[in-house]
Amino acid sequence: MQAKTHRLIGHAPSEGIGAKSVCFSGSRPRRLFVLSPANVRSVRGNLLFGESGQSALWQRLRNGRVPVGEIFSFISGLYFRGKLAYARAFANAPAGVPGIVLITSSAGLVSPDRLVTLEDLREMTTGRVDASDSGYRIPLESDARLLCEKMGSHCEVVLLGSIATPKYIDPLLGVFRERLMFPGEFVGRGDMSRGGLLLRCVREQTELTYVPVLGATLHGARPSRLPQPARRSASADRRSHR
């Protein structure tokens, strides 16, 4: 298990966890993001594993390697795209520590930039995302402990994923304890609303409010809908292209 863990969270230029994540100066709080996985058993997930897919991504997976983050974005759509864009915008991990890691169902934590073949993808997504499943929980906890050792005592871990079920909270909370955080604005929102909120934060360069998972209220009333972005007038568009 230790050998597998080191393979997964090494720092090779193209495949290490968080190899392309952005880190800011020490004046900002040290913070890394853990992203929940896409559901590979969804309709869009089945499009990648089938034998007659027509998408460009299907073709690329059969002829080479594709970043895991791109694959999960294809499968999950708005929600995962929002999580990944937000994490890339605001990650501020200590030197030598990944700013972004993705949870997988059977391969622990991996980088969104890790390049995988179709067979690699099958292998890392064969398990059940269930806190009672040792095939999922043991690799996740092993990688989380290694990450905890590397990041030191002055770095927060923000989970961008469901905080209303034990499937992510239980394994991660046992390792990171009071340093495991989540966006308070997630409470009461569905996946689409969260994805839209995250993308809006990226556009406006505004971070959410992070709340400790330990002792937090994880359920709440549904918040009001996000306001629609202001639409530009046709005359304004013409002026911008002059």
Residue type, 105: S
What local confidence, expressed as pLDDT, does residue 242 receive? Answer: 45
Please report the sign of the dihedral spanned by the C-alpha atoms of residue 99, residue 104, residue 107, residue 113: negative
What local confidence, expressed as pLDDT, does residue 41 receive? Answer: 81
- The answer to whether 102 and 37 have CB atoms below 8 angstroms apart is yes
* Bridge partner residues of 100 (DSSP): 33
Whole-number Å distance between alpha carbons of 146 and 98:
11
Whole-number Å distance between alpha carbons of 161 and 151:
21
What local confidence, expressed as pLDDT, does residue 241 receive? Answer: 43
What local confidence, expressed as pLDDT, does residue 182 receive? Answer: 96
Structure tokens at 46: 């089945």
What local confidence, expressed as pLDDT, does residue 144 receive? Answer: 98
Q: What is the pLDDT of residues 197-212, one digit of tens each?
A: 999 999 999 999 999 9
What local confidence, expressed as pLDDT, does residue 58 receive? Answer: 85
Which portions of the chain are predicted below pLDDT 70?
1-27, 51-53, 217-242
What local confidence, expressed as pLDDT, does residue 154 receive? Answer: 92
Report yes or no on whether pTM surpasses 0.85. no
Q: What's the CA dihedral at 214, 161, 129, 107 to 10 degrees?
A: -100
